[in-house]
Amino acid sequence: MKDVIDVMELQRGKERKAPVIDYRNLDFDRGFTPARFIFECGIKLHAQPLTLATAAVLMHRFFKSVDHTNYDCFLIAASSLYLAGKVKDDPLKIRDIINVAHNTLHRGSTPLEIGEEYWSMRDGIVQTELLLMRVLKFEVSIVHPHKYMLHYLKSLESWVGKEAWNSSPLARTSAAFLQDFHHDPSILEYEPQHIAIACISLALQVLGIRLPLIEENDETWFTIFCKDLQKDKNWEIMEKIMETYNREPESA
């Protein structure tokens, strides 16, 4: 376990603009590539954050149960996004998903005409959605860290005071870490409340924020919210989040 976070390096990583990448030249990378594809397509489709998180978790759960080499990871990603829209009552039109997915894989291409390629992709997404449901045994409900994070952040707002809160992007930074952690399948290994605490802890470290009435070396402030989370486990999750940024692909 690291004792010190390289805050400046992490900040430099956060400030980099997301590269435009050619997904067809990337390998699976433990699910990072299809997760990156989900978030890029989902943002273009104006999907809700919980819809994107749900799609990523469904995709990671699927590939945890199968050999990824037997499947087209981008088809699984697009189908996960389509299914997540239904799960979260954020319906995404299948034609929009097809066109956005196709354009993201083939940069600069025009929307698909209603023809053989379109119907092939449409049938593939519909059939893969059924495959996802069967592999996941129809267990598609997810307890997300987001609701815990919202509760913890509201409490911290009262803790640090409104003026200090408004002058710091703690909530935005915590949410960004949480979204980015969904690129890694290890998000399946931890309790949602622990993930929420780790994202906030990392944001506090990066922003250099000290909580009032907490001693400088006291790193267990979070036990007020989550009594079963140990310091070592919190550091472990924080390190997992940081490792995600080392896997960002280079521009095409």
Is the pLDDT at 212 greater than 90? The verdict is no
More confident residue, 216 or 157: 157
Is the pLDDT at 68 greater than 50? The verdict is yes
Round to whole Å and give the CA distance between 177 and 4.
18
Is the pLDDT at 195 greater than 90? The verdict is yes
Mean pLDDT of 234-245: 96
More confident residue, 13 or 184: 184
The per-residue pLDDT of the chain, averaged, comes to: 89
Mean pLDDT of 92-114: 93
More confident residue, 163 or 183: 183
Model pLDDT, residue 1:
34
Model pLDDT, residue 95:
96
Model pLDDT, residue 211:
83
Question: Among the CATH numbers 1.10.472.10, 3.40.50.460, 3.40.50.10490, 1.10.3720.10, which is that of 16-135?
Answer: 1.10.472.10
Mean pLDDT of 117-131: 96
Is the pLDDT at 3 greater than 50? The verdict is no
Is the pLDDT at 99 greater than 90? The verdict is yes
Span 20-30, pLDDT tens digits: 889 989 999 99
Orientation angle between helical segments 94-105 and 116-135, nearest 10 degrees: 100
**What architecture is the 143-247 domain classified under in CATH?**
Orthogonal Bundle (1.10)
Range(s) within the chain of domains with CATH label 1.10.472.10? 16-135, 143-247
Helix (H, G, I), strand (E, B) or coil at 244: helix
Tell me the CA end-to-end span of the chain in Å, nearest whole number. Answer: 34
Is the pLDDT at 4 greater than 50? The verdict is no
Span 134-180, pLDDT tens digits: 999 999 999 999 999 999 999 998 888 888 788 889 999 999 999 99
More confident residue, 21 or 184: 184
Token pair recorded at residue 139: 């267990």
Angstrom CA distances, 72 to 63, 76, 121, 166, stand at 11, 6, 12, 45
φ and ψ at residue 114, rounded to 5 degrees: -70, 100
pLDDT bucket at 110, cuts 50 / 70 / 90: confident
Span 21-66, pLDDT tens digits: 899 899 999 999 999 999 999 999 999 999 999 999 999 999 999 9
